[in-house]
Amino acid sequence: MTPYLEVPLRLVVLLGLAPLLPGIINKVKAWVGGRRGPPVLQLYYDLARLWRKGVVMSTLASPGFIAGPAVAWVAVVAAIVLLPLGPAEAPFAFRGDVLLMIYLLALARFGTTWAAMETGSAFEGMGVAREVSYAVIAEAAIIAAVLSLSVQTGSVSLSAMLAPAPGAGAVLLAAGLFTVLLAENCRVPFDDPNTHLELTMIHEVMALDHSGPPLAVILHGAAVKLLLFSLLLVEAVLPLGGVSAPVALAIIAAGVFVVTIGVGLVESLLARFAFRSVPLLLTTAFLMCLFALLMAWKGGAA
């Protein structure tokens, strides 16, 4: 398939399916709690509704208030295109694309925090401070995970790195990446996506002043980011190199589904942590990825 056809096709599928994930998580939570819960497609309805609405702009905000979410969305979408889907390599695979992905995710974070700071609200300032402080450790964990994959495969291209199984460190890597997934996507125990209390929020509070299409873009970007991390986790842990493309796609879809249900179960059964213990948990995730790196390194040397 030519890249001209493949990139739009991938984008349509990935961006179209992303809002399904929060819907599944909410269904799992409702099911465990004995409630009926919102429809699985709720986020689609929300996005459609927000897209039709007008925007309330603060008189203090610069154009960055709108540009921030747009930059963040584009960065996340670009990052997800860099991911291979099993044997189907990424359309733009090149040496070092993994570094670009990490930087694109950092750029996305910059975009959302920039937009949040625009109104000068104390709430959003606090949210940004939290987001950025926790990101320091979460990014270290991702880099350690990526390094371990890189050391093992001897490659710095995602398509080559994600194909084989990560060997003995697979369990450590899975645990570390899952924890990072929860932190990066503001799920329990790091953040509570359902809370209405501004003082306790991280991600939600950064979008408090946004409305209409920019809010829709922020919400959709968050869903795409969740899908990106789920894909990364599944492909990093499962050996997809040897199987045919349709089977690999089916395995990936099933894996993402399992991860999503796992997130829902964690949210149902675990209370949220106090902010002061969040760095501890994130450091644990970092250490798990680091040990995976050590195992990959030593395993390669032996």
Q: Does 126 bind another protein (CB under 8 A)?
A: yes
Q: Which is nearer to another protein, 22 or 84 (CB)?
A: 22
DSSP 230-267: HHHHHHHHS--SSS-HHHHHHHHHHHHHHHHHHHHHHH
Size of the site for another protein (CB under 8 A): 31
In angstroms, the CA 254 to CA 1 distance is 24
Q: Which is nearer to another protein, 129 or 171 (CB)?
A: 129
Q: Does 35 bind another protein (CB under 8 A)?
A: yes
* Residue 54 dihedral angles phi and psi, to the nearest 5°: -85, 180
Q: Does 275 bind another protein (CB under 8 A)?
A: yes
Q: Which of residues 38-77 bind another protein (CB under 8 A)?
A: none
CA nearest to 262, candidates 203, 194, 187, 202: 187
Map tokens 């399904």 to a residue. 20
In angstroms, the CA 193 to CA 187 distance is 6
Q: Does 279 bind another protein (CB under 8 A)?
A: no
Please report how close the Cβ of residue 186 comes to another protein at its closest, in angstroms.
Answer: 12
Q: Does 272 bind another protein (CB under 8 A)?
A: yes
In angstroms, the CA 86 to CA 78 distance is 18
Q: Which is nearer to another protein, 188 or 240 (CB)?
A: 188
Taking CB under 8 A as the binding criterion, the range among 4-12, 49-57, 154-162, 189-197 that sits at the site for another protein is 189-197
- Interface ranges with another protein (CB under 8 A): 29, 32-35, 122-123, 125-126, 129, 188-189, 192, 194-200, 267-277
